[in-house]
C-alpha cells in the first residue's frame, strides 16, 4: 500500500497546519465517521453537507484514535487545543483538498485506466469489463457505483503497485463536475455508454449534458462510443474537431453504419441468448451472450470494443463473452432460519466490496451476534498472507463475533483470524454444506460474501427462511434518498422525527429503524408500545415517542425507555399516578394538542388546567408539544391550516411559560414540510414521504420508489369466448383468452374491490387487467397476446405501477394499501 506522511499530504492539498504534533504515515481516507477501520493510519476529511458539518465528528473520531484531520476555515483553531495529539490541516475547501490528494495519487501510476461515463450502464460495463479482463490483469475498479465527487476519489485511492489496470466510472448531475473528476481518473481509454434522461435536472438540454460528460476524455488516448446515437455522434464530432483535434487522439466507434470502427452485421436472439456478428478491420467477430435485452446487447458490444482496443484475441473475446454473468447491484436482507437475518452479497468477493457489505452489516441492530461467511478472495493484487491479515484487521474493527472461511487459501491462513473467538474453516462450499447442521445458526445476522466460483447461493438457500413467492421488496437506498430530499428542505437547526408506526407503513420495523438510526434522525414515533418494544429489543437506541399509550402498557414504557404521548387528562393522571408509585421523576413525555383534527389531544379550553397540572408536577419532563394538521396537503384548506398553526403556537407559548425549561414544538407533517415551511418550528414529522409518496406532484418527482410488491404466475390457461373465470362467474371473457393465475389475493393485502378489471398488474413490460373476482390467495389476469410463462414475475405495484395509482383504482389512499400488506408476504430489504 502506498502511504503518505502528514507533511506530504499537507503539501499536496496546500493546507496550513493549525497544529502538527506528529508526522505519521497515512494510508486510508475517511469521510464517514461510522466507517472507521484503521484510526491511526486514516485522515478524516471533515466534509460539510446541507445539515451537518464534518467538524462535529472530530471529537468522536479523536476519542477512537484518529490523529489527522482536514478541516475548513470554519474550524476554530482554539478548539483544536482540545485534541493535543491531532494533526489539524486547514484548507479553504475540504472537497477540493480531497480531489487534490486523489489526483496526486493517480499520477503515481502509469498503468492503463478505463474511464466510463454515460446516463445508464456505467456500473454494468465496469463490472463486465472486470469479468472479461481479469484473466489478463490485476484490476482495480470502482466499488459498486462509486462515481460521484466523493466516490471517485475513494475509488482511485485504491490504486496500488500490484495493479495493472484501472476501471473507474464517473457520474455527474450538473455542469463543471466532470472536469474535477477527469483530473482524478485521468483515463487513457474513454468509454461513453449512452445518453438518456437520468440526472438531467441540472442541465439545460441533452446537448449540454453530453458535452459535459465528454470532458472526462480531455486527456484520453482513445474514446469508445455508440455511433448510432445521433446526440452522441454529433457531440463527439464537435469534440474531435474543436477540443481534441490532435493526431494522438483516436475514436473507436461501434454501430450499424459502415464507417464504424466496429460494424454490427447482425443480431439474432433466442429465448435465452443473443448472437452478435460484427465486422472489425478485415474480418468478422462472432460471439454469444446469455442475455436478450437491448441494454445488455449494447453493453456487451461496448465491452467487446474495449477488449479489441486492448488487443485481446478475437477467439478469447467470443469465449469470454459467453461466460458473462448478471451483475447483482444490491445487498439483500432476508429473514433466515432460527430467528436469523441473512444478508446476501454472494456475487463477488474483494476487499473493497467486503468493507461496504460489513458497513451494511453494522447497520443491523436486531441481533447482537454478527457472523461473516467469506470465500477465498481471488486476484486481489496482494500476497495471500498480506490480504488475509488486512481482512482480519477489518473484522476486528467491525466487531465480527463469528467467522466462517471457505476455500483453500483461507484454510491455509486461518491462524490470522485467531482473535475471533468463534471461527471455522472449510475447503469448499460442499465441505461446508456437509457440516451445515453442526454450525447451529440461531439469533444472529449472517453476511454471505463469496466469489461466484464458490456458488454461495447454495448456502443462501440453506440459511434463508422458505418464503411465499409473493414478496414486498424495500429499497433502502430509496429511503435514504427520500430522507435526504426532505432534510434538504429544512431550515438550519430543525430536527426530524421519522414515523415508523404500523410496521413502518408496511415496510418493516427494525430494518427501517436501523437505517434511520444509522442516518442520525432525531426521533422515531410508533403508534403503540409493543412496536416500540420490538425496536428496543432489536437494538434501536433513538428516542421513541408512543402515540397511543395505554394504561396496560405503562410498565413496558418504563422498562424500555419509551416516551408516551399524553393527550387527555385521563391518561395524564393515570401515568402520573403510575410514576409516583414507581418513584420515578422527570420522565420524558409529549403533550398532544387538538387544534382542529378532532381526534386526540387537549383542546383550547383545557389549556389553563393543563398548564397548572404540568407546573405542579415533578413526575414529567415535557420533551415536545405537538399537534396534527388536518389538511396540510390541500390548498383549499390553507386558511384552516393557518388557523390550526395560530392556535398551536398560542398553546405552546402558554405551556412553555409555566414549564421553566425548554422543550420542542412540532406541527409540520410530510406535506407541511414543503407546503408550509413556516410551520417547521423546532422539529418536523416525516411519514409517508419517507416511503416515496407525496401528494404534491413536484415533490413526488424528487422521490424514489421504495416498495415493490411482486408475485409470480402460478398457472396459465386458455379460456374460450363466453366462459367465465373465478368465483360467482363474474369474469366473462368475450374472446378466446389467455388467463394467468398469480400468487396473491386479498389475504395478502390485494383489495377485492380491484376485481373484474378495476385492478391491473405489470407483466413483461405491459399492464394487464384483473379478470374475475380477486380470491383469498390468488388473482387472475388476462395476458392474451403476451409472451409469458409460468413462473414469470408479476409487479403488483412498484416503479412502473405506483402504489398511488393502485390506491386510486381501489378508491382509497396509499397509506391503506401499504399498511394492509399481510405479514405472510415476506419483506426483502436491499441496498444497491
Please identify every residue annotated as catalytic.
501, 727
Helix then strand count (H, E) for the chain reads 27, 40
Using CA of residue 244, residue 247, residue 249, residue 253, what is the dihedral sign?
Answer: positive
What angle is formed at CA 25 by the lines to CA 19 and CA 31, rounded to 5 degrees? 75
Instruction: Tell me the three state secondary structure of residue 56.
Output: helix
Give Rg (Cα) of the chain. 29
Instruction: Tell me the three state secondary structure of residue 116.
Output: strand
SS (H, E, C) 193-217: CCCCCCCCCCCCCHHHHHHHHHHHH
How many beta carbons lie within 10 A of that of residue 218, not counting itself?
A: 17
- The DSSP code sequence of 212-262 is HHHGGGTT-SEEEEETT-HHHHHHHHHIIIII--STT-EEEEEESSTTSSE
Beta-carbon contacts of 466 under 8 Å, excluding residues fewer than 6 positions away, are none
Q: Which phi and psi angles does 565 have, rounded to 5°?
A: -85, 130
Using CA of residue 307, residue 311, residue 317, residue 319, what is the dihedral sign?
Answer: negative
Q: Which phi and psi angles does 243 have, rounded to 5°?
A: -110, -45
Beta-carbon contacts of 426 under 8 Å, excluding residues fewer than 6 positions away, are 404, 405, 406, 411, 432, 435
Beta-carbon contacts of 281 under 8 Å, excluding residues fewer than 6 positions away, are none
Cα 16 from chain centroid (whole Å): 36
How many beta carbons lie within 10 A of that of residue 661, not counting itself?
A: 8
- The DSSP code sequence of 478-491 is HHHHHHHHHHTTSP
Stretch (H or E) spanning 341:
strand 341-344
**Residue owning grid cell 461446508:** 432
Evaluate whether 21 touches 84 at the Cβ level (below 8 Å): yes
Evaluate whether 563 touches 623 at the Cβ level (below 8 Å): yes
Query: Which three three-digit cell numbers place residue 770?
Result: 384483473
Instruction: Tell me the three state secondary structure of residue 444.
Output: coil
**Burial of 135 (C-beta count, 10 Å sphere; 0-12/13-18/19+):** exposed
Q: What is the DSSP letter of 657?
A: H
Nearest CA-CA partner of 52 in 686, 493, 479, 359: 493
- Spatial distance between the Cα atoms of 116 and 190, rounded to a whole number of angstroms: 6
Using CA of residue 409, residue 413, residue 414, residue 417, what is the dihedral sign?
Answer: negative
- Spatial distance between the Cα atoms of 550 and 303, rounded to a whole number of angstroms: 62
Beta-carbon contacts of 135 under 8 Å, excluding residues fewer than 6 positions away, are 320
- Spatial distance between the Cα atoms of 602 and 591, rounded to a whole number of angstroms: 8
**Residue owning grid cell 508526522:** 23
Query: Which three three-digit cell numbers place residue 380?
Result: 486481489
Query: Which three three-digit cell numbers place residue 583?
Result: 418513584
Query: Which three three-digit cell numbers place residue 89?
Result: 490541516
Q: Which phi and psi angles does 273 have, rounded to 5°?
A: -140, 160
Using CA of residue 307, residue 309, residue 311, residue 313, what is the dihedral sign?
Answer: positive
Amino acid at each position: 500500500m502506498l502511504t503518505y506522511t502528514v507533511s506530504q499530504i499537507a503539501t499536496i492539498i496546500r493546507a496550513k497546519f493549525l497544529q502538527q504534533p506528529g508526522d505519521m504515515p497515512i494510508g486510508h481516507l475517511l469521510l464517514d465517521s461510522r466507517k472507521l477501520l484503521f484510526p491511526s493510519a486514516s485522515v478524516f476529511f471533515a466534509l460539510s453537507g446541507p445539515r451537518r458539518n464534518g467538524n462535529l465528528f472530530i471529537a468522536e473520531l479523536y476519542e477512537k484514535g484518529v490523529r489527522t484531520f482536514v478541516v475548513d476555515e470554519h474550524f476554530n483553531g482554539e478548539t483544536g487545543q482540545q485534541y493535543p495529539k491531532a494533526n489539524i490541516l486547514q484548507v479553504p475547501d475540504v472537497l477540493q483538498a480531497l480531489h487534490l490528494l486523489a489526483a496526486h495519487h493517480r499520477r503515481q501510476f502509469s498503468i492503463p485506466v478505463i474511464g466510463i461515463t454515460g446516463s445508464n450502464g456505467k456500473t454494468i460495463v465496469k463490472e463486465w469489463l472486470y469479468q472479461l479482463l481479469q484473466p489478463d490483469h490485476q484490476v482495480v475498479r470502482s466499488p459498486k457505483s462509486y462515481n460521484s465527487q466523493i466516490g471517485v476519489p475513494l475509488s482511485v485511492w485504491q490504486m496500488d503497485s500490484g495493479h495493472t489496470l484501472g476501471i473507474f466510472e464517473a457520474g455527474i448531475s450538473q455542469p463543471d463536475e466532470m472536469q474535477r473528476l477527469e483530473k482524478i481518473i485521468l483515463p487513457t481509454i474513454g468509454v461513453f455508454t449512452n445518453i438518456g434522461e437520468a440526472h438531467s435536472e441540472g442541465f439545460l438540454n441533452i446537448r449540454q449534458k453530453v458535452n459535459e460528460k465528454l470532458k472526462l476524455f480531455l486527456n484520453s488516448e482513445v474514446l469508445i462510443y455508440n455511433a448510432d446515437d445521433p446526440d452522441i455522434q454529433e457531440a463527439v464530432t464537435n469534440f474531435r474537431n474543436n477540443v481534441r483535434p490532435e493526431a494522438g487522439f483516436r475514436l473507436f466507434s461501434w454501430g450499424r453504419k459502415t464507417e464504424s470502427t466496429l460494424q454490427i452485421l447482425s443480431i439474432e436472439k433466442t429465448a435465452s441468448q443473443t448472437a452478435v456478428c460484427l465486422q472489425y478491420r478485415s474480418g468478422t467477430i462472432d460471439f454469444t451472450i446469455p442475455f436478450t435485452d437491448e441494454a445488455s446487447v449494447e453493453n456487451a458490444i461496448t465491452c467487446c470494443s474495449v477488449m479489441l482496443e486492448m488487443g485481446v484475441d478475437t477467439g478469447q473475446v467470443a469465449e469470454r463473452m459467453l461466460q458473462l454473468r448478471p451483475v447483482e447491484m444490491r445487498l439483500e436482507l432476508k429473514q433466515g432460519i432460527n430467528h436469523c437475518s441473512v444478508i446476501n452479497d454472494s456475487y463477488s468477493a474483494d476487499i473493497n466490496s467486503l468493507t461496504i457489505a460489513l458497513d451494511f452489516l453494522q447497520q443491523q441492530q436486531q441481533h447482537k451476534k454478527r457472523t461473516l461467511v467469506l470465500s477465498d478472495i481471488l486476484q486481489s493484487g496482494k500476497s495471500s498472507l498480506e490480504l488475509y491479515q488486512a481482512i482480519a484487521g477489518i473484522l476486528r474493527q467491525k466487531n465480527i463475533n463469528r467467522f466462517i472461511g471457505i476455500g483453500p487459501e483461507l484454510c491455509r491462513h486461518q491462524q490470522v483470524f485467531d482473535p475471533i473467538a468463534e471461527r471455522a474453516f472449510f475447503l469448499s462450499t460442499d465441505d461446508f454444506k456437509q457440516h451445515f447442521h453442526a454450525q447451529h445458526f440461531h439469533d444472529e445476522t449472517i453476511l454471505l460474501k463469496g466469489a461466484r466460483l464458490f456458488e454461495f447461493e447454495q448456502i443462501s438457500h440453506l440459511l434463508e427462511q422458505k418464503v411465499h413467492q409473493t414478496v414486498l421488496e424495500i429499497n433502502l437506498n430509496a429511503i435514504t434518498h427520500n430522507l435526504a430530499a426532505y432534510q434538504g428542505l429544512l431550515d438550519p437547526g430543525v430536527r426530524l422525527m421519522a414515523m415508523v408506526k404500523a410496521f413502518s407503513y408496511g415496510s418493516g420495523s427494525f430494518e427501517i429503524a436501523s437505517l434511520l438510526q444509522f442516518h442520525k434522525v432525531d426521533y422515531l414515533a410508533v403508534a403503540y408500545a409493543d412496536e416500540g418494544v420490538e425496536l428496543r429489543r432489536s437494538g434501536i437506541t433513538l428516542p421513541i415517542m408512543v402515540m397511543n399509550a395505554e394504561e396496560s402498557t405503562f410498565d413496558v414504557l418504563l422498562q424500555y425507555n419509551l416516551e408516551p404521548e399524553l393527550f387527555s387528562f385521563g391518561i395524564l393522571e393515570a401515568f402520573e399516578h403510575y410514576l409516583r408509585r414507581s418513584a420515578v421523576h422527570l420522565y420524558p413525555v409529549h403533550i398532544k394538542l387538538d387544534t382542529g383534527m378532532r381526534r386526540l389531544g387537549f383542546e383550547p379550553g383545557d389549556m389553563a388546567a393543563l398548564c397548572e397540572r404540568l407546573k405542579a408536577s415533578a413526575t414529567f419532563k415535557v420533551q415536545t408539544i405537538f399537534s396534527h394538521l388536518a389538511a396540510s396537503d390541500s390548498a383549499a384548506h390553507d386558511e384552516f391550516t393557518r388557523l390550526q398553526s395560530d392556535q398551536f403556537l398560542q398553546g405552546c407559548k402558554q405551556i412553555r411559560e409555566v414549564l421553566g425549561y425548554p422543550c420542542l414544538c412540532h406541527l409540520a407533517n410530510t406535506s407541511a414540510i414543503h407546503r408550509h415551511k413556516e410551520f417547521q418550528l423546532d422539529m418536523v414529522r416525516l411519514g409517508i414521504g419517507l416511503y416515496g409518496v407525496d401528494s404534491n406532484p413536484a415533490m413526488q418527482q424528487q422521490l424514489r420508489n421504495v416498495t415493490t410488491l411482486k408475485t409470480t404466475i402460478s398457472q396459465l390457461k386458455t379460456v374460450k369466448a363466453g366462459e367465465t373465470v373465478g368465483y360467482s362467474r363474474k369474469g366473462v371473457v368475450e374472446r378466446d383468452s389467455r388467463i394467468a393465475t398469480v400468487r396473491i389475493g386479498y389475504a395478502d393485502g390485494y383489495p377485492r374491490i380491484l376485481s373484474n378489471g378495476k385492478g391491473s398488474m405489470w407483466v413483461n413490460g405491459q399492464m394487464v387487467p384483473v379478470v374475475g373476482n380477486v380470491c383469498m390467495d390468488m388473482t387472475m389476469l388476462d395476458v392474451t397476446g403476451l409472451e409469458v410463462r409460468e413462473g414469470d414475475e408479476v409487479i403488483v405495484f412498484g416503479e412502473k405501477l405506483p402504489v398511488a395509482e393502485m390506491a386510486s383504482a381501489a378508491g382509497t389512499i396509499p397509506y391503506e394499501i401499504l399498511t394492509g400488506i399481510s405479514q405472510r408476504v415476506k419483506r426483502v430489504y436491499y441496498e444497491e
